[in-house]
Amino acid sequence: MQTTRLRIGFLTLVSGAIAGWGPLQPARIHAQQPLRGDFKAQFLRLCDIASKELNKDLTPFTERTNADPKTHHVPFFEDSHAVRALAVGYDMTGKKEYLETCQRWSDRMIAFQDKMIPKGAYYLNYFRKPGETGGHWFISDASSVAMGVLATAVRSPQKADKDRYLNSVKSYAELVMRDRIGKDGGIVEVLWGGFRDSWWCSTGTFGALAFLLHDETGEARYLQVGLGALGWMVRHDFRDAKVIGFQQRPSGVVFYDFQLHAAGMKHLPASSKERSAAVAQIRDALKWMATVQIGRGGKPPWGYLDDGHTDMAALPFLMYSFAHQLPECRDLTAAADQELRYLAGLLLEKGDPPVSRLKTWELVSWGMMSYAEKLSPGSLLRSSLRR
């Protein structure tokens, strides 16, 4: 199979249709009615669905069209968003099943990691496999996996478990920090076609992870990397993103870039030029969101289940995060609620979503992050010190 058929998420270069719910085209999506009801009940319903899906037997991701309900067969970075949200579900309910699911998933990630070359890399369920010495192990995707493992560490009550998960993430961070921190503060990614430079997605994901690792461990070196990544980001207009850029993946660029802002803004002094620049970027991103979020009356030329746009479901997460962190954004909550109601209808109006299908699982996992931030502000980004 050609490698382009395996470039998924923000790496997607191939279009694909989803069956089952039906081929949701933009016109049909515009006609979708928001689902009324209790956000908490909807979130916990999705947590139950995700927990069941994540506990299935794993098979490799090889075909975008695989919809076998007996196995779980998607790239692991797609799982990480659901795992992080499921960890918040555990915070909210104390339901052991949710934590056990996160731990089982993280144990699987560590078992693969132990066999990866180079040491510390995460297997993504595509490209470089455990034991192989060639092929990509993308920092951009692997950092999302690391954030799922870190979220598990934060919630694990037993020291041995917490240490195992945290040491896994620190081993990965050591690998990246060894030679992938650019002189400009960005995170250097190695991509197809000979690209080797600081890249928006690797900078956004690993930068966010670095902030979270600092918050968990107190180690200043992680804070330095996070601030360097955020500094790189505020010097680059997200609309000018190169190599799978804003024209191809606008929602992906916004989610991954501004997840870094969500994790790092509290570390920027209130009067600093960097904070002012970051806030200006956030405002620009929010203006763009208002034009494309269907729940708020936006009219994008694509639908949320179209290839490359499922991370639209995560954008309310950013809105809620900025609303509770930044005085400049306090009025965002109502608009985020509107969009979340639309997503609820898209996900749940027809019954339990068919999560064995890749695009559906993507929409569910990113959507769960938005629910988690709505219901438990800050918990997706919290450390062990905040309970």
* Distance separating alpha carbons of residues 196 and 187, to the nearest angstrom: 10
Check residue 129 and give its pLDDT: 97
* Segment 77-91, tens digit of pLDDT: 999 999 999 999 999
Angle in degrees, 0-180, between the axes of helices 315-325 and 358-375, rounded to the nearest 10: 20
pLDDT band at 37 (very low <50, low <70, confident <90, very high): low
Query: What pTM, to 2 d.p., does this model score?
Result: 0.91
Q: If you average pLDDT over residues 114-141, what whole number do you get?
A: 97
Render pLDDT for 128-183 as a digit per residue (tens, 0 to 9).
Answer: 999 999 999 999 999 999 999 999 999 999 999 999 999 999 999 999 999 999 99
When pLDDT is averaged across residues 340-369 and rounded to a whole number, the result is 96
The CATH number that applies at residue 45 is: 1.50.10.20
**251-307 pLDDT per residue, tens:** 999 999 999 999 999 999 999 999 999 999 999 999 999 999 999 999 999 999 998
Q: What domain range includes position 82?
A: 37-381
- Judged on CB neighbours under 10 Å (0-12, 13-18, 19+), 107 is middle
Domain presence at residue 2: no
d(CA 184, CA 178): 15
Residue 270's contacts (CB-CB under 8 Å, 6 or more residues apart) are none
E-assigned strand segments in 125-237: 188-190, 196-198
The answer as to whether 215 is a domain residue is: yes
Residue type, 181: I
How many domains is the chain built from?
Answer: 1
Question: Two tokens at 60?
Answer: 């490799």
Indicate whether 243 belongs to any domain: yes
d(CA 325, CA 327): 7
Q: Hey, which residues does 188 pair with through a beta bridge?
A: 198
In this structure, the dihedral spanned by the alpha carbons of residues 84, 227, 318 and 245, taken in order and rounded to 10 degrees, is: -100
Write out the two tokens for 285.
């991103």
What's the Cα-to-Cα distance from 115 to each of 49, 134, 266, rounded to whole Å?
30, 14, 37
C-alpha–C-alpha distance, residues 366 and 81, integer Å: 6
Q: State what percent of residues in the chain have pLDDT above 90.
A: 87
In-domain check, residue 387: no
Residue 30 lies inside a defined structural domain of this protein: no
3-state secondary structure of 68: coil
pLDDT, one tens digit per residue, over 1-22 is 333 334 433 343 333 322 233 3
Q: Residue 94 falls within a domain, yes or no? A: yes
Q: Would 23 be classed as within a structural domain?
A: no
Structural domain contains residue 4: no
Render pLDDT for 200-240 as a digit per residue (tens, 0 to 9): 999 999 999 999 999 999 999 999 999 999 999 999 999 99
DSSP letter for each residue of 87-140: HHHHHHH--HHHHHHHHHHHHHHHHHHTT-SSTTPPP-SSSSPTT-SSS---HH
